[in-house]
Amino acid sequence: MKYKSSVWTLFLLILAPLEFSSARAQDNSFFESHIRPALIEHCYECHSTGKKIRGGLILDSKAGILKGGDSGPVIIPGKPDESLFMKGLHYQGDLKMPPKGKLNSNTINAFKEWIAKGAVDPRDSSKETANATTIDWGKSKLFWSFQPVKKTPVPVTKGSSNPIDSFVQKQLNLKSLTNSGPATPQELIRRLSFTLTGLPPSVEDVDSFLKDRSAISYEKLVDKYLSSISYAERWGRHWLDVARYAEDQAHTFGVKPNSDAYKYRDWVIHSFDKDMPFNDFVRYQIAADLMPEPKRLENLAALGFFGLGAQYYKNTDAARAIADELDDRIDTLSRGFLGLTVSCARCHDHKFDPIPTQDYYSIAGVFHSSKLSNTPVCTMEELKTFESEKKKLIEAEFNLNKFIQTERLPFLEKKLKSFESNYLEAARFLEKKKKDEKLNYKGFGNDPVALERWVKFQDKYKSNKKFAFFAEPISQWNDKTTDEQKIISINKAKDALLKVIRNEKDASIKEKQNKNTPEFYEAFFGNAGLMPLGDSWKKELDTTKLVEFKALEEQHIALKKKTPDALPVVNAIAESTPSDLKVYIRGNPSKQGEIAPRRFLKIIAGEERKTFSKGSGRTELAEEIVSPDNPLTSRVIVNRIWAWHFGKGIVATPSNFGKLGEAPSNQDLLDYLAGNFVETGWSIKKLHKLIVTSDTFKQSSKDISKNFAIDPENIFLWKFNRQRLDIESWRDSILSISGKLDKTIGGPTFNLNDSNSKRRTVYAKISRHDLDPLLRIFDFPDPNITSERRIETTVPQQQLFIINSSFAIEQSKELAKRLQDFSKVERDNINQAYKLIFSRNASIQEVDLALSFLYNSEDNAEKSSNKMDRWERFAQALLASNEFIYID
Amino acid sequence: MVLLSRREMINNLGAGTGLIGLGGILGDAGLLNAASTNENPLMPKVAHFPAKAKYMIHLFMNGGPSQVDTFDPKPSLIKYNGQRPDIANKSTERKTGGLMQSPFKFNKSGKSGIEVSEIFPNIASCIDDICVIRSMHTNIPNHEPSLLMMTSGETQPTRPSMGSWLLYGLGTENKNLPGFVVMCPGKPVVGPQLWSSSFLPGVFQGTHINNSSMDPKKIIQNVANPSLGKNSQREMMDYLAKMNQLHLEKRGNSDNQLETRIQSLEMAFRMQFEAQDVFDLNQEPKNIREGYGTSPFAQACLTSRRLVERGVRCVQIFTGGGQPWDNHDDIQQHRKLAQETDQPIAMLLKDLKSKGLLDETLVLWGGEFGRTPTSEGAKGRDHNNHGFTVWLAGGGVKGGYIHGSSDEFGFAAADKKMHVHDLHATMLHLMGLNHEKLTYRYSGRDFRLTDVEGTVHKEIIA
C-alpha cells in the first residue's frame, strides 16, 4: 500500500565475477570478527529476512548481499570505491547508511578491506532473496471464494418451502440449535418496514396487517414497500457507503467541491428504485461513457463511482499522489465489487491472497488510461451544436467588445482629464479628516455621490498590489507635507493612472499593468467602478458607427439567448490515452519494473487471459467483473444485501473474501443465493423478497438460553439479530413520527445543521473534509475510503443529541402537538404515541406510568424557566427510548 | 460507555505479533471475555510495558516554525549570509535564494546551557526539562501532506490520527469526558482529518473544540440543555429509564446492547455537568489564570492541564486556525507568534511540574516541517522537509538534552536523523506501546501508526 523509496538504488551496477585469491580461512575469520558483527549491529534491523527488508536489500545472507537491492548490486567484490555500499557508509551523496549515524572509521575501513579482498562470505548461500515470492496457483485456486459458485441441491427439511430456510435449518439441525419461532405481527411489520424503507410502518398499515396476518397480506406489504421510493432511498444509501460517496475532498487546497455529486447519488437511488439488474449497475459505474446511446446518456452519472473519488494534493511529488489516486480507484473497485483487497499488492505480491503486484498494475493501467471529467449530459450531436454555437457566441462577444473598446477609449480619455486630480486629492482629504468633517472639499462639493464611490473604491483596492502604484504617492503625505508637494504627488499619481488607462508602457509602474487593462477599465469605469460611465459614451458615435454597433449588439443578444452558459455536467471519468503501466517496484513510481499489460486478475480470469484492447479497457474490465464465471461478484453482492438485512453477513467481512476475511458461516446458502441471483437476472428486489419472506427473517429476536450456550453470536441464525437504527433511519423516523418529514426526492444536497431542512438524511451534504458531527457521532463511515459495514458504537455524545439538541427538542414539540390534536382523551393520546413510535398499543401499566409523569408536579425552582411542557417532555422521552431505536 | 461487539473486536484485532500484543491487553481488561460480549473499548488498558507517560499534549505549531530561528542556532549562517553553497542548494516548495542569518539572538539557557532564541525567553527558562530534537525530517515540503504525516503517519487522508491510536491502545481514564480533545480556534489547514479515527471505530475520533471562545455551555456539541432545569431533566430521564427498564425486562434482561445504551444515557446526563466543569476556567486561581494569559492559545494550554488532570489521554492544541507559522514573507513575524505562545507554553510546563503531572505527561512542541535557512523573497523562509526541530518535555524524556543535529546551515537533518515515523515510534514507546504491535486489522492488512517504518530513539529516554 505504501512505498518507501529505496536508497540503495541510485546506480545500476554490474556484478563482477567473483574471484577469491586470498587464503579462504583467513578471510572467513575476518568476516566473522569484523563484518558479521557490524552487519548484525548496524544493518540487520532494516535489511534482514527475519525483520525488515528495506529497499529489497537483504544483508543476512550471502545470496542477498550479492544480489543487491531493488535495482542492482550494492557491492562489487574487489572494488570498494565503485561499490554503492561504501558510498552509503561514507555518507557520500544522498545515500547515507546507516541512517542513524555514520559508522566509525575503523568499521568503515573494515568493510572497505573486506570488499577489496573479494567480499568473502562464508554464510550459507541457499537462503532465498527478497524478491522471490511465489504464488502457488494450483493451491490458491482451491480457496473457497475462487471456486465456482456451487449448485448444492436445496436440502429437504420440514416446514418452510423457502430454500433459505432449508439451508439454515439443515445447519441448525447439525448444531443442535432450534429456530426461535415467529416474531409477533407487530414486531414483523416494524422490522420489515425499517429494513426495506428505513421508516416506521404507518399506523394504518399496522392496523390492517393485524387484521389480516396471512402470507398473502404480508407479501403485499413487501411489494408495497419495495415499490416505494423510500425503499430506494434507504438501499441507495447502503451502496453509497461502499462507493465512499462524498461531494468534496479531505484536504483544503486547490480542490473544488463536486457540486454535481448529487447526480451520482440520485442515479444510485433511481437504479434501486427501478431494480436495475446488478450486472448493469456495475457496468455503468465502470464504463457508462462507452455504452451505446441511449444507455450512455441515461447512465452517465453512474461514473461518479470513480469521478467522485479521491483527488490528492499534487504540488510536490505528484507522481506519488497520482499513484495514490489510482490506488483509491483500485481499492474501491476491488473491495467494492469483488471483495478482494487488491490494494495490498501495490508494493509487493499480496501476502495472503493470490494477487501478484503485476495484477495490481494491470488494473491500475486501466485507470491510468482514464481521467476525471466533468462530462456534459447530452448526446454527441447536442454537444457539437452547443460547441459550435458557443464558438459563435464567443466571436460575437469578441467583436462587440472590440468595437466598444476602440470607440470608448477617446471618450474615456477626455472624461478622465477633468476628473482624476479631484478624485485623488479628495481621497487624501478624506483619509485625513475622517468622517466627522463635512465633505465639502472644493473639487467634490457638488458631487457627494462621486466622493462616496471613491471611498468605496479605495477600500476595495487598498490591499491590491496592482493598484498600489497610484495610492503610493499620496499615502506618503503627512502633516508637514506642503501644498506644493501635494500637487506634485497628485500629478504623479494622475500620470500613472492615465498611463494605465491609455495602455502605455512605463517602467516606473512596478507591476506589468499592460496586461491588466480590462481589469483596470472595469475597476475605474465599470458599473461597480470608480467612475461608472454606463452607456454615455455611445452618444458620441456617428450614425454609421451607431448602426454598426446596434448590429453587433443584436447578434450578441440573439446568440446569448440561444446558447446556455454551460451544459449540465456530471462528475465522471472519461477515456485518456490508453497505455500500460510498468510495475512500480515497492510502489515507488520512480522505479519501474516489468510491464503490466491491462487485463484482469489471473486468479479469476486464468493464465491465458486476454489483454484489454478497447481504449482504456474499462468495458472489458466491467465484463470480467460481471461475467457469470466470476465466482466473486455475485457472492459479494448477495452477501452485502444479506448483511444489510440481518446486521451481519454470511461472510462477516463483506469486502474481504480473501484468506484474511471470515469464512462463510453457511457456504451452501451463500452459493444458492448467488446462483439464484444470477439466474433470476441479477434482480436485487427479487433477492429482497426471497429473504424477507423466509422464516429465518421472520423469526423472533428473543433469546433461547440453550441456543445461546451453543452459539452465543448467532452465527447460525437461530434468532433474528436485534438491530439499532442507523443515524439516517433514526433521524428520518423522528421526522416521520413528528409529521414533519419533507419527502422531496433527489436534487442538490442540504445541510444537516440547517434546522429548516427536514428532508431524508440520504440527501444531506456528505463531506470528506468536514463530515457533519451528527453523522460522525453516529458511526457514519469515513467517506475517504470504501466501507464494508458500519462499526456500531454507543457513546454519551449520541445521547446528548437526543436529550439536548435543538432538532430533538423541536421534533418533540411537534410530536406533542400531533398527539394532543389526536383526541380529547389523554389515554388515547398516549396510546397513539405508542402506535406511532413503537407500532403497538400501550399497556395499562405504560399508560399509567405516562399519566403519572404527565401529572407529576413541577420542580418549584425550575417551573418558571422550563421551556418544554410535560407533553413535550413525554414525547422526547419516547423518542429517546431504546424501544424506538432498537428493532426486534 | 461504548459498545463494540466482541466479534467486532476480534475481527479487527491485528494478526501475528499484533494479535498477541493487543490481544493480551484486551484480554487483561476483560474485553475478550466470552461472558460479556459488550465492553467499553475506551476503558483504560494495560500498556505493552510499564511507562512513565500516561498522557500526551501536542502543542502543534501549525504552518511550520523555522528551526534556525528558534531552537537550532547556526552561526555559519552569519558567515555565509547571502551565499548559496552547494549544501544549501536543496529544492523545497518554492524557489529560495542565498542563506539568510537569523534576525534573532540565541542565549545559552538553564544549567544545560542549550541555546534558545531570544523570542522564547520563558520557554528558555524551562529548557532543563526539555529534550530538543534537531534532526527531524519528513517527506514533502507542502502543508497538507506534512500535517497529515505528523498527525497520522501518512501523507494522504486515509489513516487514523495518533490520538486515535493512543485511545485504541490505551483507552482513557475519565469516562465522562472525551478521551482525545483537539483545540483550535477555527480550523487548521486540512481540518478534521487531522484528528480522524479513519478506519478505527468512530469512538476513537478526536473531539474538536473551537477555543476562540471558551463558553463551557457551548464547547461540546449539545452539552447543555436549553429548555429544562437540571431537576426537571433528571425527572424526565427517570421516566425514560423506567421505560427502558420495562423494555429490557420484557427481553429477558439478556441483551447487553440495550443495557449499554441505558448506561450511556446516564453518562450523558452526568457528562453535561462534568464537561462544562472542566472548561470553566474561572475555577482556577487568579495567579494561575494570569500565569497563562488570556489569549485563546493560553486558555487552551490551561484547559489542557485541566483535561490531563482529569485523565484525558490526549490533547492537541493548534497555534491557530489556518497556518500561523507559515512566514514566507517575513521571518520577523515569528517574533509575534513566539510572543503569543511563549508564556502559556512555559506556564503549562511549570504548572504541570508543580502539580506533579509533568512526569506522566508527554509534551510535544513542533510544526509539520521546518523552514529553509535560505531566504524566500527578501525576508522570509520557505517550507523545509529536509530538516527541522521539535522538542519533547516530561513523560520520561531527558531534560536539558539535545538529540541529533542538522547540517552546518540547519537545512537537512544530519546526525541521528529522526523521521516523523521515528518520532511516533519513540512517543508510543514513551507511552508504553510497541509501535510494531499496536496494530489494527483492516482491509486485509494489519495497519499501524508507523506503517512499515519507525525506529525508537532510546537515547532521549531519561
Nearest CA in chain A to B15: A660
Task: Count contacts between A and B (CB, < 8 Å).
Answer: 256
- Looking at the partner chain, which of B240, B262, B444 has a beta carbon nearest the beta carbon of A352? B444
- Looking at the partner chain, which of A803, A856, A882 has a beta carbon nearest the beta carbon of B244? A882
Given an 8 Å threshold on Cβ–Cβ distance, is A652 in contact with B5? Answer: no
Given an 8 Å threshold on Cβ–Cβ distance, is B443 in contact with A656? Answer: yes
Chain A residues touching B224 at Cβ < 8 A: 804
Interface of A with B in 338-367 (CB under 8 A): 341, 343-344, 352-353
Given an 8 Å threshold on Cβ–Cβ distance, is B193 in contact with A784? Answer: yes
- Looking at the partner chain, which of A2, A773, A795 has a beta carbon nearest the beta carbon of B264? A795
Task: Give the number of other Cβ atoms within 10 Å of residue A212's Cβ.
Answer: 11
Query: Counting Cβ atoms within 10 Å, is residue B213 exposed (0-12), middle (13-18) or buried (19+)?
Result: exposed
Given an 8 Å threshold on Cβ–Cβ distance, is A809 in contact with B201? Answer: no
Query: Which pLDDT belongs to residue A503?
Result: 61
Report how far apart the first and last C-alpha atoms of chain A are (Å, whole number).
41
Chain A residues touching B434 at Cβ < 8 A: none
Q: How far is A30 from chain B (nearest CA, A)?
A: 29
Given an 8 Å threshold on Cβ–Cβ distance, is A335 in contact with B5? Answer: no
Interface of A with B in 253-282 (CB under 8 A): 253
Q: Which residues of A664-703 are buried (b: 16+ CB within 10 A; e: fewer)?
A: bbbbbbbbbbbbbbbeeebbbbebbbbbbbbbbbbbbbbb
More confident residue, B444 or A824: A824
Chain B residues touching A653 at Cβ < 8 A: 11
DSSP state of B56: E
Q: CB within 8 A of B249, min separation 6: which ones?
A: none
Optimal mutation site among A800, A810, A876, interface B, most CBs of chain B within 10 A: A800
Query: Which pLDDT belongs to residue A95?
Result: 79
Q: What angle do CA A413, A418, A424 make, to 5 degrees?
A: 100
Chain A residues touching B178 at Cβ < 8 A: 797
- Looking at the partner chain, which of B2, B193, B237 has a beta carbon nearest the beta carbon of A793? B2
Given an 8 Å threshold on Cβ–Cβ distance, is B257 in contact with A724? Answer: yes
Q: How far is B441 from chain A (nearest CA, A)?
A: 9
Nearest CA in chain A to B259: A882
- Looking at the partner chain, which of A101, A773, A849 has a beta carbon nearest the beta carbon of B416? A101
pLDDT bracket for residue A5 (50, 70, 90)? very low
Given an 8 Å threshold on Cβ–Cβ distance, is B178 in contact with A878? Answer: no
Length of chain A, please? 888
Torsion angle of the four alpha carbons B298, B303, B308, B311, in this order, in degrees rounded to the nearest 10: -170
Chain B residues touching A324 at Cβ < 8 A: 156
Q: What angle do CA A286, A291, A292 make, to 5 degrees?
A: 170
- From residue A254, alpha-carbon distances to A249, A250, A311 in Å are 10, 11, 10
Torsion angle of the four alpha carbons A377, A383, A386, A389, in this order, in degrees rounded to the nearest 10: 170
ipTM of the predicted assembly exceeds 0.90: no
pLDDT bracket for residue A884 (50, 70, 90)? very high
Nearest CA in chain B to A52: B452
Chain B residues touching A792 at Cβ < 8 A: 3-5, 8
- Looking at the partner chain, which of B4, B15, B264 has a beta carbon nearest the beta carbon of A796? B264
Tell whether the torsion through CA atoms of A874, A877, A879 and A885 is positive or negative: negative
Q: Which three cell numbers stand for residue B120?
A: 522564547
Chain B residues touching A52 at Cβ < 8 A: 452
Given an 8 Å threshold on Cβ–Cβ distance, is A791 in contact with B264? Answer: no
Residue at A556: amino acid letter: H
Cell numbers 487485463 correspond to A599
Chain B touched by A855 (CB under 8 Å): no
Residue A505 has pLDDT above 80, yes or no: no
- Asked if A299 and A291 touch (Cβ cutoff 8 Å), the reply is yes
Given an 8 Å threshold on Cβ–Cβ distance, is B192 in contact with A874? Answer: no
Chain A residues touching B265 at Cβ < 8 A: 796, 799, 803, 880
Chain A residues touching B264 at Cβ < 8 A: 794-796, 798-799
pLDDT bracket for residue A396 (50, 70, 90)? very high
The reply to whether omega before A631 is within 30° of 0 (cis) is no
Chain B residues touching A329 at Cβ < 8 A: none
- Express each pLDDT in A62-79 by its tens digit: 878 888 888 678 888 888
Q: Rounded to whole angstroms, how far apart are CA atoms B234 and B379?
A: 61
Q: Rounded to whole angstroms, how far apart are CA atoms A205 and A217?
A: 11
Residue A166 has pLDDT above 80, yes or no: yes
The reply to whether omega before A568 is within 30° of 0 (cis) is no
Chain A residues touching B244 at Cβ < 8 A: 881-883
Q: CB within 8 A of A163, min separation 6: which ones?
A: A154, A672, A676, A690
- Report pTM: 0.78
- Looking at the partner chain, which of B187, B205, B247 has a beta carbon nearest the beta carbon of A882? B247
- Looking at the partner chain, which of B140, B224, B227 has a beta carbon nearest the beta carbon of A317? B140
Nearest CA in chain B to A317: B140
* Percent of chain A whose predicted confidence (pLDDT) is above 90: 60
- Looking at the partner chain, which of B227, B267, B453 has a beta carbon nearest the beta carbon of A868? B227
Given an 8 Å threshold on Cβ–Cβ distance, is B445 in contact with A1? Answer: yes
Q: Is A683 left (phi over 0), alpha (psi -120 to 50) or beta?
A: beta
Given an 8 Å threshold on Cβ–Cβ distance, is B157 in contact with A784? Answer: yes
Report how far apart the first and last C-alpha atoms of chain B are (Å, whole number).
36
pLDDT tens track of chain B, all 462 residues? 344 444 444 444 433 223 333 333 332 223 333 233 345 678 899 999 999 899 999 999 999 999 999 999 999 999 999 999 998 999 898 899 999 999 999 999 999 999 999 999 999 999 999 999 999 999 999 999 999 999 999 998 889 999 999 999 999 999 888 899 999 988 899 888 899 888 887 778 898 888 887 888 888 889 999 999 999 999 999 999 999 999 999 998 778 889 889 988 998 999 899 888 999 999 999 999 999 999 999 999 999 999 999 999 999 999 999 899 999 999 999 999 999 999 999 999 999 999 999 999 999 999 999 999 999 988 999 999 999 999 999 999 999 999 999 999 999 999 999 999 999 999 999 999 999 999 998 887 889 999 999 999 999 999
Optimal mutation site among B140, B149, B217, B240, interface A, most CBs of chain A within 10 A: B240
Chain A residues touching B455 at Cβ < 8 A: 45, 100
Q: Rounded to whole angstroms, how far apart are CA atoms B248 and B245?
A: 5
CA-nearest of A720, A716, A660, A734 to A692 is A720
Residue A426 has pLDDT above 80, yes or no: no
Q: How far is B62 from chain A (nearest CA, A)?
A: 14
Q: Rounded to whole angstroms, how far apart are CA atoms A256 and A259?
A: 8
Torsion angle of the four alpha carbons B90, B92, B96, B102, in this order, in degrees rounded to the nearest 10: -90
Given an 8 Å threshold on Cβ–Cβ distance, is B416 in contact with A100? Answer: yes
Region A619-630 average pLDDT: 97
Given an 8 Å threshold on Cβ–Cβ distance, is B236 in contact with A873? Answer: yes
- Looking at the partner chain, which of B93, B228, B235 has a beta carbon nearest the beta carbon of A315? B93
Optimal mutation site among A251, A646, A727, A798, interface B, most CBs of chain B within 10 A: A251
SS3 A746: coil
Chain A residues touching B201 at Cβ < 8 A: 779, 791, 793
Chain B touched by A798 (CB under 8 Å): yes
Nearest CA in chain B to A886: B258
Length of chain B, please? 462
Chain B touched by A554 (CB under 8 Å): no
Query: Which pLDDT belongs to residue A523?
Result: 67
- Express each pLDDT in A518-542 by its tens digit: 566 666 677 766 667 777 778 878 8
DSSP state of A31: I
